[in-house]
Amino acid sequence: MKKPDEDLQLQLERAEVVRKMRKEKINNFICVLCGKRVTRESFRDEDALNEFKISGLCQACQDEYFKDTYIPE
């Protein structure tokens, strides 16, 4: 049986792998959800581009993910 510390360590290692993969995709302008390549011009505005830099979601995935929370100005 594993010790709780071993389980925690394994979870931390997996989380680090996911963070690195996410960062690599963002740096290569690839959506982390759908895998499509993006360009700066593919975003609606600067806020959407900034969101990509945080979450790694392209404009289409952002629209789908945030559809219930979007409030037009």
Name residue, tokens 């995935």: 61
Q: Give Cβ neighbours of residue 26 (< 8 Å, ≥ 6 apart).
A: 32, 52, 53, 56
Q: What is the pLDDT of residues 20-49, one digit of tens each?
A: 999 999 999 999 999 999 999 999 999 999
- Return the pLDDT at 69: 73
Domain boundaries, the chain: 4-65
Reported as a pLDDT band with limits 50, 70 and 90, residue 71 is low
pTM: 0.76
Contact (Cβ atoms closer than 8 angstroms) between residue 15 and residue 21? no
Say what percent of the chain tops pLDDT 70. Answer: 92
